[in-house]
Structure 1
């Protein structure tokens, strides 16, 4: 029930219409990029990143071992320098899996 405040001197109760629930897909059917990358931790990958409005570092490429994956980031150990670097998913364009095919599920 909701109160109708159109007329400040009289209060009217307004009945809410019952709504039928809309069918929803099961959440297990959804796959996100971080879920996919998490299944491939430990693999050697090449990542291609772009940074808009940055004239110095507009497009970057890094190759290394995927160490950790979060909701909006991933950590890569650069094969050239040996440093661990964290990147944001928002800057990620695509990933190439260098040594083995990408795992699509835990059983692969």
Structure 2
């Protein structure tokens, strides 16, 4: 009679083949990292192309990120509509003011009447309106495409 192994729902598997080994040769320009040492990766500005990324002929580099559009409209009065999940006091809020600046994850508005400044998170932003024309530079498109 054969002996059965007891059922174990927490079976572990070795991960040795799933991760690259440190014995692989380094690519040109890379330096080996010693154990316990961290390797710094330079941050790319929002909307920029990563250096060394080849573009296929006719491929478009689009840089019309929301923060870039907002930066083109600094000084204009805008209205930002935001919602906040699981908030018992207010679920939605409207902020109106002069656009001071914007980043990848935030918008800074100032209220000209009170002088109060608002730092708003993009993650809560539903949409933005303006009473005047918004400056916008569309991304370059290949000829023949509109």
What's the TM-score, normalizing by structure 1?
A: 0.68
In 2, the alpha carbon distance for the partners of 1:93 and 1:43 equals: 19
Equivalent in the alignment of 1:74: 107
Q: Structure 1 regions of 5+ residues with no counterpart?
A: 7-20
Bigger Cα Rg = 2
- Give the secondary structure class of the aligned counterpart of 1:81: coil
Moved over 4 A (4+): none
Q: In the TM superposition, what is the alpha-carbon distance from 1:97 to its structure 2 partner?
A: 0.5
Equivalent in the alignment of 2:98: 65
Q: In the TM superposition, what is the alpha-carbon distance from 1:69 to its structure 2 partner?
A: 1.0
| Pairing partner for 1:56 from 89, 97, 104 | 89
- Give the secondary structure class of the aligned counterpart of 1:36: helix
Q: In the TM superposition, what is the alpha-carbon distance from 1:48 to its structure 2 partner?
A: 0.5
What's the TM-score, normalizing by structure 2?
A: 0.52
Note closer, same or farther for the CA distance 1:68–1:30 as it changes in structure 2 (3 Å cut): closer
Number of residue pairs aligned between Structure 1 and Structure 2: 86
> What do you get for the CA RMSD once the two structures are aligned?
2.6
Which structure has the highest strand share of the two? 1
